[in-house]
Amino acid sequence: MGNIESVDGQSEMKHHIMPLKVPMPDPTELEEKFAIVLNSMNLPPDKARLLRQYDNEKKWDLICDQERFQVKNPPHTYIQKLRGYLDPRVTRKKFRRRVQESTKVLRELEISLRTNHIGWVREFLNDENRGLDILVEYLSFAQCAVMFGFEGSENGEEDFLDKSKSWSRSIEDLHRPTSQPFYNTLVRSARQSVLRYGSVSSSRTIKNSRLVSQKDDVHVCIMCLRAIMNYQYGFNMVMSHAHAVNEIALSLNNKNSRTKALVLELLAAVCLVRGGHEIILSAFDNFKEVCKEKHRFERLMDYFRSEEGNIDFMVACMQFINIVVHSVEDMNFRVHLQFEFTKLGLDDYLEKSKHTESDKLSVQIQAYLDNVFDVGGLLEDAETKNAALEKVEELEDHLSHVTEKLLEVENETMMKVADLEKLLLHKDKELQVIRETYESTSSQVNTLRKVIKEKDAAFQRHFNIERRLLELEQQGTIRLHKKPDGDIAIEPCVGGGSSNGGVVLQGEIGQLSLGSTVGLTVPGGPDTSLPPASEAPPPPPPPPPPPPPLPSASSPNIPAPPPPPPLAPPLPDASPSVILSVGLSAIRIKKPIKTKFRLPVFNWTALKPNQINGTVFNEIDDERVLEELELERFEELFKTRAQGPIMDLSCTKSKVAQKAVNKVTILDANRSKNLAITLRKANKTSEEICKAIEKFDLKALPVDFVECLMRFLPTEMEVKALRQYERERRPLDQLAEEDRFMLLFSKIERLTQRMNIITFIGNFSDNVAMLTPQLNAIIAASASVKSSPKLKRMLEIILALGNYMNSSKRGCVYGFKLQSLDLLLDTKSTDRKMTLLHYIALIVKEKYPELANFYNELHFVDKAAAVSLENVLLDVRELGKGMDLIRRECSLHDHSVLKGFLQASDTQLDKLQRDAKTAEEAFNNVVNYFGESAKTAPPSVFFPVFVRFLKAYKDAVEENELRKKQEQAMREKLLAEEAKQQDPKVQAQKKRQQQHELIAELRKRQAKDHRPVYEGKDGTIEDIITGGADSSGSPRAATRGGSGRSKWQMAVVVRTSALLKCTLCYVVQTPPHLEDST
C-alpha cells in the first residue's frame, strides 16, 4: 500500500533550517542514549533490531532528532495553534496571517506523532488535550470549502449549511447489534461541517476554509491521523470516534491525487481490521448522503476513471476496491458489493484497462478479475455438480452390484477349486493304491525272474552233464547202470587204460557228480549219488523286498525314526556336500560358509534334519542359489557394526473369555416381563404357540422367536409352582398371560428336545451355507499353497541367504518354521535403510524375474486365514448330532415334517461332512508339507503368515521402486550441480540464491512463531500501508468465480493479512486460508 510518497513530512523537513549538530559522544554513551531512545519509541522487536544495526552516525542523527523534537514542542503547543486556526471570532486579515504557518505546524505535529515516544502520543490524546478531536475538527474545517464547492456556488452557502445538521453518528450507533451484519449501516443524517459557532457568520468560516483548502493541510492531517492509528491506543480512539473515519472518507474530495491515494490506503487498512469493514461501508454511506451520490462509491469510480494519468492513485483505488469487495466472509454480501461496482461500470472499465503497462495496476486488476463471483457460472456448476452426484450415485449402485457379482463369482470359483481339490485328493488316494500295487507286483516279478534265471542255469548244467556222460560212455570209459531206486551208477571200464588214466577218469567223474543234479554212483569211492532232477531240493527263497522308506510326518500313526547318530567330522579334502545315509534316505551335510564380513544373525526357527523328510525343504537346493547370487554385494549391505539382542519369538497364548451364565431359578417379575415382550413378537395366543411347537411347525413360528423362547424354558422350581397351582384347583383365568403360557409350555412332552429340533431345522440351511464357504476356502488355499512352485523357489532363496548369514555362528540348517518369515523385516542392513525382505525383492527382480508375481499363485489365503477350522469341524459335528436327534425322534413318533426334512437334508449333511474331512486332510497335508504341526499351527495361525508375507513383499517392491526413483533423481541433481559448478557465474548465483532462501525461511519461521496475545504491539497500520509495496504475489489462475475466502489471493492482501496477524491481537481479521501464507 505504499505506492505513493507517504513520508512527506520527512521530505519537507529538508527545506527547514536545521540547527547545528551536537558533536557525537563516545560509543559507550552513544549506546546508552540510543537504548533510551529505542525504549521511548516503543517499536516492535523486528524494527528495533533494524535500528540497532545502524552505524554510529545514523544512531546519533536519530538521537538528535528525537531529543530536538521532544524538547522543542510539547503536545499542548500544537493543540493551541490548531485551536487558534479554528477560532471563528478571528478577523479574516488576522486569520490570513496565522494560517501561513498551519502546514508547517501540522508537519511538525505529524513528525512528533510518528517519532516521539508513546507517552507523548498518549498525552496528546488524553482528556485534557483532546488532540484527536482538534485534528478531526481541523480536518473538517479544511474540507468545508471543498465540500461547498461540490455543492454549488457561493450563492448556495445557506442551503448547504441548512442541510448539514449534526455529526453523522456516535460510537453507540457504530456497535449497535443487528441481525444482518453486512447490512449493519447506521441511521445517518446530513453532515454538518465542524463550523458550529452559532454567533459568527458561516460565510466567513467558509471563506477561511477556502483559504486553507488551497494549502496541503488536508494531506498532512490525514498523515497525522495515520501516525495516531499506528499505535494500538490511538487506533482504538480513532475507531471509537464518532466522526473521524467519516472525515477521512470525505477527504477523497480533495483535488490532490496524493491525498486521495493516501486516504484510500488508510481506509483499506482499516477495512482489514475486525469490524473495520462495516465502519468503512458506513463512512461511504455517509459520503453518499453528504455528497448527494445516487449510488454508493459513485464519486470514487468517477475519480478512478478520470485519473488515468496517475498510476499511483489508480493502484491505490483498485487495491481498495479489491479489499472492500473480497474481504467479506458472507458470499451473498460479497456478490452484493461486487454488483454495486458492476452497476457503476467497473467491469467494463477493467476490461479496457487490464492491458495497462503498469505491472502494479495489472496485478490488482487481475486479482479482482480472478476473485469475481460469476453467479451464472456458479449456477451452471451447481447443475453440473448435481448431475455429477446423480451419476456418482448411479455408479455406486452399479459398483455395488458388480461387487456382489464378483463375490458370487469368487465363491463359485472357490467352490470349483475345492471340488477339484477333492477330486484330486481322491485321485491321489487311488494313485497311491495303484503305486503300492505296482511296487508289490514289481517285487514279485523280480523274484520270479531271479528264480527262472536260477532254473535255467540248473537246467543248463544238467544238460552239460548228460552230454559228457554220453560221450564217456561212447568212448568206453564208463558204463552207466540204473539202480532200482532210480539212481544212475557210473562204473569205469576195467583194463581200459593205465593206472594214470584211471585216476584221471575218477577225478573227472567226481567233478561231474559235484556239478550234477542227477544221482550218480561211482564204485570204489565215496557215495556221490545225488537225487535226480525231479527230486532236486527247492530253490533258495527270494530275497526280502526292500524296506519301506522312512515314515514322514504325514503318517501320523507311524512313529518317526530315531535321529541319526552323530556325524563323523568331514575329511580335510572333502567336497562341500557329503552324503550321510540314514536308513535308505540321504541327507547332505552342509559345510559352514566363510563370509568376508560379520553378518547379523537371522533369528529363524530351524527344522531338525529328521523333520525335513517329506517337506518342501527336501525338494529345494539352497546351495545352488548361493552360487547364482552376488554375495559380495549382500555382505556389503548387511555387514554389522555391533550384534543386537536376539529376539524372543515366544508366542503368547490367547485367553478365551468365558461368558458368565446368568442362572434364573424362579419366574420373578423381571423374567415375566421379558417373557411378555417375547410373546408379543409372535402375535399368537399361548395355545397356538404350544401347538406349533408340538407339530414342529416352523411356518407358524419364526426361528428367531423360537431361539428367544429357548431362554424361557421352565425351571424345576417354576414347574413345581405351576403344578401346585393346578392341584389347588385354582382358576386358570386368574393367571397372568405369561404364567398361563408357562403352564402350557411346561406340559409339552420332551420340551427341550423339541425346541432344539425346531431350532436345528430352522438354522440348518443357514449353517450349511455359512460352513461350506469356510471349508472351501481351507481346501482351495491349502491346495494353492502346496502346489505353488514359485513359492517353493522363494523359500529356497530365503533359506540360502539365511544359511549364508548364520553359517559361521549357528551353522547351516535344512529348513525353517514359517513364522521366521515375519523376521525378514526385522533384519536390516548396515545403514538401516533396507531390510532382508527388500533385498530379496531386489534380487528377485534382477536374477529371478519369473518369480516376481509368485503371490498370484496363492489363492484364497486371506479368506482361509479368517477361518477357525476347529470351530468349523465342531459345528459340523454338532450338525451331525442334531440330525441324529431328529432320526431318534422320527423313530419314536412319526412326524411328516421331520421325515421331509431328513429326506431333503441328509444329502447336504453328507456332502458337508465329506467336505469337512477333505478340508482337514488338505490342511494337514499342507501343514506337514511345510514342516509345521496342525495342533500348533491351525489355519488362523498358518495362513496369516502368508498373508503378512505377501503384503510385506508387495510393500517392499513398491519401496524399492520409490528408492530407485529417488536415487536416480539424486544422481541427476548431482550431475547437474557438477555441471553448474564448472561455471563461476552459476556458482555465485547459486550462493546468492541459497542466502535468499535462508533469509526467506527465517522470516517465515519468525512470522509463524511470533503471534502475540498481549497488548502493546504497535506499528500495525504503518506495516499494513507500507507492506503492500513489498508484496509481489501473483494472482492465481482465473476460475469460474472463486469459492469464497478460500480463493482470496490478492497480492496486497496476502502481505497485509500476514502483518496484521503478527501484530494485532485485538482486532485482527485474517482470512482463514492465509494463516500460513507468511
DSSP states of 459-507 as a string? HHHHHHHHHHHHHHHHHTSEEEEE-TTS-EEEEEPTTSS-HHHHHHHHH
- Tell me the C-alpha distance between 840 and 853, whole Å: 13
Mean pLDDT value across the chain: 73
Let me know: does 346 contact 295? Beta carbons within 8 Å: no
Instruction: Give the residue, 549 or 736, on which the prediction is more confident.
Output: 736
Q: Mark whether 346 and 386 lie in a shared domain.
A: no
687 domain-assigned: yes
Mean pLDDT of 797-813: 84
pLDDT, tens only, 680-691: 777 777 777 887
pLDDT score of 498: 47
- CB count within 10 Å of CB 266 equals 27
Positions of E strands within 505-632:
520-521, 577-582, 585-590
Place of cell 467352490: 415
Per-residue pLDDT at 671 exceeds 80 = no
Q: Mark whether 337 and 433 lie in a shared domain.
A: no
Mean pLDDT of 10-21: 42
What contacts 308, CB < 8 A, 6 or more positions away? 314
386 domain-assigned: yes
193 domain-assigned: yes
Poorest-pLDDT segment among 43-57, 535-549, 1029-1043: 1029-1043
Model confidence at 758, pLDDT cuts 50, 70, 90, reads confident
DSSP letter at 1074? G
DSSP three-state, residue 525? coil
Mean pLDDT of 627-637: 75
Amino acid (1-letter code) at residue 475: Q
pLDDT score of 545: 46
Model confidence at 608, pLDDT cuts 50, 70, 90, reads confident
Instruction: Give the residue, 233 or 482, on which the prediction is more confident.
Output: 233
**Domain around 479:** 376-535
Per-residue pLDDT at 284 exceeds 90 = yes
* DSSP per-residue string spanning 208-251: HHHHHHTTTHHHHHHHHHHHHHTSHHHHHHHHHSSSHHHHHHHG
Q: Mark whether 219 and 127 lie in a shared domain.
A: yes
% of the chain with per-residue pLDDT over 90 = 20
pLDDT score of 500: 53
Residue where a domain terminates, one of 325, 343, 373 = 373
CATH of the domain at 739: 1.20.58
DSSP three-state, residue 1043? strand
Burial class (CB in 10 A: 0-12, 13-18, 19+), 109: buried
Please count the residues of the chain. Answer: 1078
Cα–Cα distances in angstroms (integers) from residue 225 to residues 132, 238, 1022, in the given order: 8, 8, 11
Model confidence at 510, pLDDT cuts 50, 70, 90, reads low
Q: Mark whether 122 and 48 lie in a shared domain.
A: yes
State the pairing for strand pair 478-482/488-492.
Answer: antiparallel
Q: Mark whether 324 and 399 lie in a shared domain.
A: no
Cα–Cα distances in angstroms (integers) from residue 965 to residues 158, 845, 962, 975, in the given order: 83, 15, 5, 15
CATH of the domain at 19: 1.25.10.10
Instruction: Give the residue, 694 or 864, on which the prediction is more confident.
Output: 864
- Tell me the C-alpha distance between 658 and 73, whole Å: 92
1017 domain-assigned: no
Burial track 925-939 (b if 16+ CB lie within 10 A, e otherwise) = bbbbbbbbebeebbb
- Tell me the C-alpha distance between 276 and 882, whole Å: 82
Let me know: does 1018 contact 42? Beta carbons within 8 Å: yes
Q: Which three cell numbers stand for residue 836?
A: 532382508
Instruction: Give the residue, 586 or 250, on which the prediction is more confident.
Output: 250
Q: Mark whether 363 and 381 lie in a shared domain.
A: no
Let me know: does 1078 contact 1058? Beta carbons within 8 Å: yes
Residue where a domain terminates, one of 313, 341, 373 = 373
DSSP letter at 1065? S
- Tell me the C-alpha distance between 186 and 169, whole Å: 8
- Tell me the C-alpha distance between 816 and 615, whole Å: 11
Bridge-partner residues for 491, per DSSP? 479
- Tell me the C-alpha distance between 854 and 972, whole Å: 34
* CA proximity to 898, closest of 682, 688, 684, 694: 694
DSSP three-state, residue 737? helix
- C-alpha 887: how far from chain center: 56
Amino acid (1-letter code) at residue 312: D
What is the number of structural domains in the chain?
A: 3
1057 domain-assigned: no
930 domain-assigned: no
Q: Mark whether 18 and 104 lie in a shared domain.
A: yes
Q: Mark whether 143 and 263 lie in a shared domain.
A: yes
Mean pLDDT of 622-633: 75
Furthest-apart CA pair in the chain: how many Å?
200
pLDDT, tens only, 1028-1076: 544 433 333 333 444 433 334 333 333 333 333 333 333 333 333 333 3
Residue where a domain terminates, one of 373, 405, 439 = 373
Identify the top-confidence range among 85-99, 446-460, 563-577.
446-460
Burial class (CB in 10 A: 0-12, 13-18, 19+), 814: buried
R_g of the chain computed on alpha carbons: 55
pLDDT score of 1068: 33
Model confidence at 677, pLDDT cuts 50, 70, 90, reads confident
% of the chain with per-residue pLDDT over 70 = 69
- CB count within 10 Å of CB 512 equals 21
- C-alpha 947: how far from chain center: 20
pLDDT, tens only, 842-864: 999 998 999 999 999 898 899 99
Mean pLDDT of 220-239: 90
Mean pLDDT of 579-591: 53
- Tell me the C-alpha distance between 1026 and 1019, whole Å: 11
pLDDT score of 94: 53
Q: Mark whether 269 and 396 lie in a shared domain.
A: no
- Tell me the C-alpha distance between 65 and 21, whole Å: 10
pLDDT score of 154: 38
pLDDT score of 337: 93
962 domain-assigned: no
Q: Mark whether 96 and 201 lie in a shared domain.
A: yes
pLDDT, tens only, 165-220: 333 333 333 333 333 333 333 333 333 433 333 333 355 555 555 555 556 788 88
pLDDT score of 872: 92
Let me know: does 816 contact 800? Beta carbons within 8 Å: no
- Tell me the C-alpha distance between 11 and 492, whole Å: 165
- Tell me the C-alpha distance between 222 and 316, whole Å: 15
Per-residue pLDDT at 409 exceeds 80 = yes
- Tell me the C-alpha distance between 896 and 883, whole Å: 15
683 domain-assigned: yes
Q: Mark whether 439 and 507 lie in a shared domain.
A: yes
Q: Mark whether 368 and 505 lie in a shared domain.
A: no
Let me know: does 598 contact 772? Beta carbons within 8 Å: no
- Tell me the C-alpha distance between 1009 and 999, whole Å: 15
